[in-house]
Structure 1
Amino acid sequence: MYQLTPRLQFIHDHLISGEPVWDFCCDHGIVGLSAYKSGKFPEIYFVDQVSSIMEKLSRRFAEKFLRVEQNTQVQFLTLPGEEVKDVLKGTVVIAGVGGIAIHKIVKNLHEQGLLKATRLILGPQRDEQKLEEMLCQMLDSDYKICNVDYRIEERGRTRKLLIFNKK
């Protein structure tokens, strides 16, 4: 199976129950899978541009996680995050990629008017400070960053998480 690392557990604990979850750059899909398993979210979207990752994740989901009795809708989107054409509501999670990649995704979705999420949880692997500065300026009219400095120790490294809530 899988086990949530402290960082992924923190992310899971900050998803908004009863709202959709968007797991961008999902790789193994652990955040989305844990959200699905909990049964607390009406929709789960997995987004990654690597088709082999998405095929494997989709197969794994169908074999080990899909429950007929659960009403959660699940979608697997194989495309770059910045090319999503749906309106994003609920919680958007983008973690495990660089700050510049996260900025590109958020910027494009914001400029297209698709970013309507209640909460953004961002976990850059690098360029945390630069990402925070760029997003605070860009999202200022729509989102407020939580002023708490979320830092999680994981695998001998301190990882920063940024959380933005819709105003």
Structure 2
Amino acid sequence: MKLSQRLSHLQAMVDGPYQHIWDCCCDHGLLGAALLRQEAATNVHFVDIIPGIMQSLQGKLERFFPPAAGASRWQVHCIDVAKLPLADYPSETPQLVIIAGVGGELTGELVSAIQQRADTLGQEIEFLLCPVHHTYQLRERLDTLGLRYFDERLISENKRCYELLHVARHGKQPITAIGDSLWSQAPIETQVAYLRRLLKHYHQVIRGSKQEQKPLLERAISDYQAQLDLLSA
């Protein structure tokens, strides 16, 4: 199957080769399969917690990527993404963990759990992330974890915008709450529409939010409004 624009952009951001790539919340495994064809890693791991999806994916991988000379370049793991078996796959070079298609809050929880496990093992991890919403909260959490970014992109697909982030402890630039380089990429009409949708969302959320949540939401509204004003100037 042809990759969606979002998955194609994620594939283009993989600047391996890596020894291990973990395609998490992989659903039908399209991105991981593309990375296998690209030979972006020695081993590609497909990870999801839904047994039916993973059983189907196992069969497709056996058909299209049969093991050569008794060795497989891929593994299927039906487990909680927060519990990646990094200890079973040691590497002297950074491993890449891809988390796409889930919300920013869950993405942050998964990144935190995986980074903690990697720190315990002395393993370097890079993350390639594409949350479906709540990127402001996610970015603040990534910064708190001491991560920095190599690359960040804003893309539009089916009238929705997505932020793509490639981050790690050894990244090049500090992660900011709304992104720095995002706003020089997509067409200005796309940026404006995205910011307006974000502002509408946060204005709705803050009305029903708990008092302890309001400071973050107020910061998000202020920062996004400032960026919109800058674009509109």
Q: TM-score, normalised by structure 2?
A: 0.63
Does residue 131 (structure 1) correspond to residue 134 (structure 2)? The answer is no
Letter in 2 for 1:104: E
Counterpart position of 2:165: 162
Deviation at 1:73, TM superposition (A): 2.1
Counterpart position of 1:116: 124
Deviation at 1:3, TM superposition (A): 0.8
If asked which structure has higher relative contact order (CA below 8 Å, sep 6+), I would say 1
- Give the counterpart of 1:103 among 91, 105, 108: 108
d(CA) in 1 for partners of 2:79 and 2:45?
Answer: 12
Max Rg structure = 2
8 A Cα contact 1:136 1:145, kept in partner: no
Q: Which runs of structure 2 are paired with 1:49-60 in the superposition (5 Å)?
A: 49-60=49-60
8 A Cα contact 1:16 1:90, kept in partner: no
8 A Cα contact 2:67 2:73, kept in partner: no
Report the identity percentage: 24
SS in 2 for 1:77: strand
Letter in 2 for 1:122: L
Structure holding more helix per residue: 2
Taking a change above 3 Å as real, the CA distance of residues 16 and 163 of structure 1, as seen in their structure-2 partners, is same
Query: Which residues of structure 2 form unaligned runs of 5+?
Result: 171-233
Does residue 92 (structure 1) correspond to residue 100 (structure 2)? The answer is no
8 A Cα contact 1:99 1:127, kept in partner: yes
d(CA) in 2 for partners of 1:67 and 1:78?
Answer: 20
d(CA) in 2 for partners of 1:44 and 1:149?
Answer: 23
- Which consecutive segments of 4 or more residues in structure 1 shift more than 6 A? none
Counterpart position of 1:28: 28
